[in-house]
């Protein structure tokens, strides 16, 4: 049939028809690819969708650091994420006359899964990281290594207008911008007290619990430092969201 038709058409018309056929095919393929992409974009799981808001209740994955970074400068979105997780916090800011110090838009954590004993003043993204660590790392590690729940945290502070390692000169600390917290230990429901100072590196359930919560903080926080880093961290873990790339 085609051979019969093509025999009737002039060569010019035949070429034109072939060209139209090619364009139609290309348009159809492009349309299908775009539609499939759009469908995937809309139906991509929120936890892996880089532009969907972070849900603190979802387990952290490789997209989490990107989502956490996007919370910087999106205070409203960040506070909403904290609220949606079940934690309560009030917006707070700290004004400092010292250059590099202060907390422009942050929060004061009033309540989360495990009591912190007060004093948690952090930028919202740092608080989000802390709440994710608490929910997804500490709870699971306690169950696995201690067989009991953590009932409170012991911390050495969050905001502090100072240099790294309290040095008189040098780089300003992540604490000065309320992007860091020093975690010293944990209270367990069975009465145990697990302190970084006492149990770090120990071949015991307590030692393995500390190793697990330290390791679990990497990937949620940008910088994680512990006793293996230097003497200044012998009694606490330093968790920070500002600068990326250290897990020691």
Q: Which is nearer to Zn ion, 74 or 156 (CB)?
A: 156
3-state secondary structure of 28: helix
Lookup: tokens for 184 = 């010293």
- Residues that bind Zn ion (rule: CB under 5 A) add up to a total of 3
Region from 36-44, 114-122, 145-153, 237-245 binding Zn ion, contact rule CB under 5 A: 237-245
Using CA atoms, how far residue 73 sits from 69, 76, 233, in Å, is 9, 9, 30
β-strand pairing of 103-111 with 121-123: antiparallel
Q: How far is the CB of 41 from Zn ion (least distance, A)?
A: 40
Judge whether 217 and 230 are in contact, CB under 8 Å: no
Q: Which is nearer to Zn ion, 85 or 158 (CB)?
A: 158
238 contributes a contact to Zn ion by CB under 5 A: yes
Quote the CA–CA distance of 100 and 1 in Å, as a whole number: 81
Reading phi first (left if > 0) and then psi (alpha if -120 to 50, else beta), residue 143 is in alpha
Question: Which of 116, 131, 182, 187 forms a contact with Zn ion (CB under 5 A)?
Answer: 182
Region from 46-54, 68-76, 91-99, 179-187 binding Zn ion, contact rule CB under 5 A: 179-187
Region from 31-39, 96-104, 159-167, 234-242 binding Zn ion, contact rule CB under 5 A: 234-242
Q: Which is nearer to Zn ion, 180 or 217 (CB)?
A: 180
Region from 9-17, 26-34, 51-59, 230-238 binding Zn ion, contact rule CB under 5 A: 230-238
Considering only residues 29 through 68, tell me which ones interact with Zn ion, judged by CB under 5 A. none
155 contributes a contact to Zn ion by CB under 5 A: no
Using CA atoms, how far residue 72 sits from 8, 113, 118, in Å, is 69, 23, 24
Q: Which is nearer to Zn ion, 181 or 188 (CB)?
A: 181
Tell me which residue of 213, 203, 200, 208 sits closest to 247, measured CA to CA: 213
Q: How far is the CB of 222 from Zn ion (least distance, A)?
A: 13
Q: Which is nearer to Zn ion, 134 or 182 (CB)?
A: 182
Lookup: tokens for 23 = 């364009």
Q: Which is nearer to Zn ion, 140 or 164 (CB)?
A: 164
Q: How far is the CB of 171 from Zn ion (least distance, A)?
A: 13
HSE of 115, CA atoms in CB hemisphere, 13 A: 7
How many Å from the N-terminal Cα to the C-terminal Cα in the chain? 75
Quote the CA–CA distance of 55 and 84 in Å, as a whole number: 8
Q: How far is the CB of 244 from Zn ion (least distance, A)?
A: 16
Residues that bind Zn ion (CB under 5 A): 180, 182, 238
């Amino acid at each position: 049939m085609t051979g019969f038709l093509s025999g009737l058409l002039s060569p010019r018309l035949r070429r034109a028809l072939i060209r139209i056929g090619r364009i139609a095919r290309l348009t159809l393929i492009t349309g299908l690819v775009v539609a499939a992409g759009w469908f995937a974009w809309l139906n991509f799981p929120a936890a892996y969708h880089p532009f969907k808001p972070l849900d603190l209740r979802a387990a952290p994955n490789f997209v989490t650091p990107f989502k956490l970074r996007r919370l910087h400068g999106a205070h409203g979105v960040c506070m909403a994420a904290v609220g949606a997780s079940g934690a309560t916090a009030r917006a707070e800011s700290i004004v400092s006359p010292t250059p590099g110090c202060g907390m422009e838009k942050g929060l004061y954590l009033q309540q989360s899964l495990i009591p912190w004993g007060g004093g948690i003043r952090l930028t919202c993204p740092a608080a989000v990281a802390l709440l994710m660590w608490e929910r997804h790392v500490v709870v699971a590690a306690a169950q696995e290594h201690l067989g009991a729940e953590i009932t409170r945290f012991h911390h050495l502070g969050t905001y502090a207008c100072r240099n790294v390692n309290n040095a008189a000169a040098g780089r300003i600390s992540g604490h000065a911008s309320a992007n860091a917290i020093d975690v010293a230990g944990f209270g367990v429901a069975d009465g145990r007290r697990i302190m970084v100072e006492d149990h770090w590196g120990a071949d015991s359930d307590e030692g393995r619990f500390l190793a697990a919560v330290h390791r679990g903080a990497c990937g949620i926080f940008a910088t994680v430092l512990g006793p293996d880093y230097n003497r200044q961290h012998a009694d606490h873990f330093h968790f920070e969201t500002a600068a990326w790339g250290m897990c020691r």
